[in-house]
Structure 1
Amino acid sequence: MDNSKLETAIFAGGCFWCTEAFFTDLKGVDKVVSGYIGGTTKNPTYKEVCSGTTGHAEAIKITYNPDEIAYEDLLEIFFATHDPTTLNRQGADIGTQYRSEVFYTTPEQKIKAENFIKLLEDQKIFDKKIVTKVSEATEFYPAEDYHQDYYALNPNQPYCKAVIEPKLSKLKKNYKSKLKE
C-alpha cells in the first residue's frame, strides 16, 4: 500500500474490541489500532480509562487509503455498527469512556462528519436524536497490546460471541462489496 496516500480516521463508539473488528476487514483499510483519546490523563491505562475519571473514550484509529475507501464509507459503517443515540453508553457498557464521538484529523473530515449526521437526522434513520459529538482529534494513546486485534485473537470469548459476532455477521451481509477478499 502506498503510505503517502494514507489518511487517518478516529472513532469512538463503545467498546473498542467491537469497533476494531468492524473496520479491520474493509478494503482500503491498512491498520486499525485500539486506544484512548479525548481525555486529560497522559498515557492512560485501561484501568484508568475504565474508571471514567480520565475523560478518555475507548476509540479506534483507522489508517486507510482514500482512493480505495472514502471517509464517508467509514462514517456509514461507524454509524451502522453502534447506537449513536445513547449518551455515554453502548449496550451494557456505561460511562463516558463508551461515548459516541468522531475525532476529525482534518477540517474536511469535520465537515463530512457534521454533514453525515445531518443527513441521518434529516432522513430520520434513528428514532431518537443523534448524540454523537464531532471533535478535533487530540493525542491518541494506543491501548495495551492485549487489546489489539482482540476479536481476531479471542473469537470464542463470551463477550465476542454474544456482542461482536452478531454485529459482524450483519456487517458482512450488508457491506459485502466493501470487504477484503
Structure 2
Amino acid sequence: MVIREATFGGGCFWCLEAVFQALAGVESVQSGYAGGQVANPTYQQVCTGTTGHAEVVQLAFDTKRIDYRTLLDVFFTIHDPTTRDRQGADVGSQYRSVIFYHDDDQREQAEQIIARLNAGHLWPAPLVTQVAPLPTVYPAERYHQDYYRRYPHQGYCQAVIAPKLAKLRHHFRERLA
C-alpha cells in the first residue's frame, strides 16, 4: 500500500466528500478549508467570502488501487469547472473550482488534463479551475464530516449530492468501493 494525498475544491465539500468516499482505493476523505488568509477559519467566516478559503476535501488514496489521474477524471466529471465561484445554487469564492497540488507531478497532471479538456471543447466554456500549490488545510467542523453518510435523506443531499453520486456510478462503476 502506497498512500498519497490529493486536495480538491469544487463546490460544497459535502458533494466532493460523498463522491470520493465511494471510490475504491480512497482510504479517507476530510472536508476542510484551504487557500485563504485566516488561520483556523470557521464555517461562518468562510461563508462570508472574505477569508479567501475554498471548501475542499483532502483525500488519502492508495496508489496501488487508484491513481491521481483517475481522481482528476472523477473531479472533472462531477462538478462544473467552467463557472467561477459557483456550483449550481452555491455561489461565492468558497465554492470555486481548485486543485491544490502536493507535488510537481500532481501539478503537471492537473495542467495536462485541463489543457486536454479545453482543447476537446467538452464543456460549453473554458475551464476556470485554479491549479495552486497546497496551502494549509484546516479541517472543517465535525458536523461537516461524513455529512452525506449521516444525512442521506436531507433535502440538499437528495437534490444536489445524490445526482452527483448517480453520475459517478454511471461513469466510474468499475471504480466504486
The alignment's TM-score, normalised by the length of structure 2, stands at 0.98
Match of 1:76 in 2: 73
Q: 1: distance between equivalents of 2:22 and 2:127?
A: 26
Q: Deviations over 1:66-123 (max 9, x none)?
A: 1110100000000000000000000001110000000000110000000010011111
Pick one of 49, 53, 71 that aligns with 2:50: 53
* Structure 1 unmatched ranges of 5 or more: none
1:174 paired with 2:171, answer: yes
Question: What is the number of equivalent residue pairs in this alignment?
Answer: 177
Q: Deviations over 1:19-53 (max 9, x none)?
A: 10110011110000000000010000000000101
1:33 paired with 2:33, answer: no
Pick one of 113, 122, 125 that aligns with 2:122: 125
Q: 2: distance between equivalents of 1:7 and 1:54?
A: 28
Alignment of 1:104-143 (within 5 A): 104-143=101-140
1:175 is paired with a residue of what secondary structure?
A: helix
1:144 paired with 2:141, answer: yes
Q: 2: distance between equivalents of 1:172 and 1:145?
A: 27
1:157 paired with 2:163, answer: no
Match of 1:85 in 2: 82
1:24 paired with 2:15, answer: no
Shift of 1:127: 1.1
* Structure 2 unmatched ranges of 5 or more: none
Residue type of the partner of 2:110?
A: A
Question: How large is the Cα RMSD of the aligned pairs?
Answer: 0.7
Pick one of 89, 97, 105 that aligns with 1:100: 97
The alignment's TM-score, normalised by the length of structure 1, stands at 0.96
Q: 2: distance between equivalents of 1:134 and 1:91?
A: 21
Match of 2:12 in 1: 15
